[in-house]
Chains A and B, each alone.
Chain A
Amino acid sequence: MAPQGIWSGTISFSLVAIPVQLVRAVAPGRISFRMLHNTDFSPLVRRMFCPRQGVQVPPEEIVRGFEIAPDRFLPITDEELESLSPERSRTIEISQFIDMAEVDPLYYDHPYYLVPLKGGEKSYRLLAEAMRQTNRAGLARLVLAEREHLVAIRSTEGALSLVTLHYNEELLPAQAIAPGAAKGSAEMKARIKRSIKRMIAEFEPEKYEDSRRTKLLDILKRKAQEQAPVEPPPIAAEEGEGPPDLVAALETIMTDLRKGR
């Protein structure tokens, strides 16, 4: 199945403009479950509840607040949030070409592929090829779901892939975690280095699998064969057929119509 596009636009730099579609590079691997009511297996929905008034709160009565201390909030409006949204943009403008080896993988956020759209295949192929040969990645900005992201575009086996990068201030500094310099342990260090050397291997991702997922799929497959699925009762009779006068008038009309009167 072709992956579903989540954005389409153009990659551009200097004089090149390539129409592309953005698709997820990772299919959702998590198996998710619906919450059901154990008395009749009806699927459940979430509702907002106000514990102080003991009532369910409709959407038009919900506002946002930033918690500065317990029970102290700064309210913020939709307009204020909207004013922060970047201008919607349909281009990924490459501003620089960088060496990906300089980017610490800690910066990597979400991986995507770029798929060429009609008319863009040739320049897409040329760009992917040139980037592979120069071993460079394009640095650009992309507006996705009201947020501007810093992204890196790379050549991956003839295709262009894109990874969104964390902003610098999002990343927690490693200094806080690294302990101070160790003294007089040259021998220990040499031993660790020897161990590492012995264990050097190629990275073969196909050798590893999510064993929980596999086991869970086995359970589900077995269940599907062994037992009938549970079903909630059909949605209860409609909340009345409508205003009684109208229903009565319509019933008379229907009877007349069917008798051809």
Chain B
Amino acid sequence: MNRKFVEVEGQRLSLSNLEKKLYPSCSFTKAHVLDYYRRIADRLIPHLRDRAVTLKRYPDGVEEEFFFEKHCPPHPEWVQTAEIVLKGQKRMTACLINDQATLLWVVNLAALELHVPLAGAASPETPDAMVFDLDPGEPAELLACAQVALILRELLSRLGLKAFVKGSGRKGLHVYVPLNSAGATFVDTKGFSRTVALMLQKNYPELVTERMAKEERRGKVFINWAQNDAQKTMICAYSLRGGEKPTVSFPMGWEELEQLARERKPEGFWVSPETALERVGKDGDLFHEVLAMKQRLPHM
């Protein structure tokens, strides 16, 4: 096994199998993956900070088996962890990715995808944001998702709520409503998002469903409000996805989304690691307000 030792922020890391093609169809190697995460680290880490991260590991690349890891795997002593106890669940120890060294350590374990809960590890029952996870059921596609996201944005804005959107890196879109206020609970965010989803389903029955059952999702956009739960996680902004080609779950501006929807350009939603780095260099983090903006859910 080929290994390379590097020093990151004073920690000595042993990186292995750097030439291994984790995305074989386009020869994107583990070295490329590590390089992407190193260069995106400053934008990514604020979204991971102090959250019980779930690793989705692809030890033999995206064409082979993967597994989710919620418990922090055996780790060097400098890796920070948190003890999480959720209602009715077993206590568990999760990794906290608060610095570049830890980020590269988990990526070296072939954790291509990093998933985070909507709440911080210190208060795992208090969501910092409410999410609408839009998932198109075949043959509906991204453009239908974009249409729903735009309706959702308008509706939320009339309720006095600002929302932000990112591509899932696959076929969906994620609309986030920042809360960042101690009063919110998952019961509130789940109830609120479900009510909104029901209302959209009622008014756009051809376009939207809020039902989980696969057969009800055909040709419609499924609004997965149930993601607003202490036990669920979302793909983190700027994380890679383990699809055939490397794509990034990437935040975008609403104007950009409108334009892509207008010009019917679904390919514009798939952001490659290279484009992601270029765009954060130019536009900064379009999702930084999701971490800071304080909002309250009205009419609850």
Using a CB–CB distance below 8 Å, which chain A residues touch chain B? 5, 8, 21, 58-60, 78-79, 82, 117-118, 238, 241-243, 245-251, 253-254, 256-258
Q: Do B159 and A253 touch (CB < 8 A)?
A: yes
Q: Do B65 and A79 touch (CB < 8 A)?
A: no
Given contacts A246-B298, A246-B299, contact A238 B159 (CB under 8 A): no
CA distance A257 to B159 in the complex (A): 13
CA distance A238 to B191 in the complex (A): 12
CA distance A243 to B91 in the complex (A): 33
Q: Do B192 and A257 touch (CB < 8 A)?
A: no
| A162 CB to nearest B CB, Å | 18
Q: Do B195 and A250 touch (CB < 8 A)?
A: yes
A-B contact pairs, 28 of them (CB 8 A): A5-B65, A60-B87, A78-B90, A79-B91, A117-B60, A118-B60, A238-B198, A241-B199, A242-B191, A242-B192, A243-B191, A243-B192, A243-B195, A245-B300, A246-B192, A246-B195, A246-B298, A246-B299, A246-B300, A247-B199, A248-B299, A249-B299, A250-B196, A253-B155, A254-B155, A254-B203, A256-B158, A257-B158
CA distance A254 to B208 in the complex (A): 14
Using a CB–CB distance below 8 Å, which chain B residues touch chain A? 60, 64-65, 87-88, 90-91, 151, 154-155, 158-159, 191-192, 194-196, 198-199, 203, 298-300
A-B CB proximity, top 6 nearest: A242-B195, A246-B299, A245-B299, A60-B88, A59-B88, A250-B199
| A84 CB to nearest B CB, Å | 14
Write the chain B residue with the least CB distance to A61: B88
Q: Do B155 and A250 touch (CB < 8 A)?
A: yes
| A8 CB to nearest B CB, Å | 6
Q: Do B199 and A254 touch (CB < 8 A)?
A: yes
Q: Do A249 and B159 touch (CB < 8 A)?
A: yes
Given contacts A58-B88, A243-B299, A256-B158, 8 further A-B contacts (CB under 8 A): A78-B90, A78-B91, A242-B191, A242-B195, A243-B192, A246-B299, A247-B199, A254-B199
CA distance A258 to B151 in the complex (A): 10
| B226 CB to nearest A CB, Å | 13
Given contacts A250-B196, A251-B199, A257-B154, contact A8 B65 (CB under 8 A): yes
| B259 CB to nearest A CB, Å | 21
Contacts of B198 in A (CB 8 A): 238, 241-242
| B95 CB to nearest A CB, Å | 15
| A204 CB to nearest B CB, Å | 38
CA distance A60 to B195 in the complex (A): 27
| B289 CB to nearest A CB, Å | 23
CA distance A249 to B297 in the complex (A): 12
| A61 CB to nearest B CB, Å | 9
CA distance A79 to B88 in the complex (A): 14
Contacts of A60 in B (CB 8 A): 87-88
CA distance A5 to B66 in the complex (A): 12
| B101 CB to nearest A CB, Å | 24
CA distance A245 to B192 in the complex (A): 11
CA distance A134 to B91 in the complex (A): 48
CA distance A150 to B60 in the complex (A): 28
CA distance A245 to B88 in the complex (A): 31
Contacts of B199 in A (CB 8 A): 241, 247, 250-251, 254
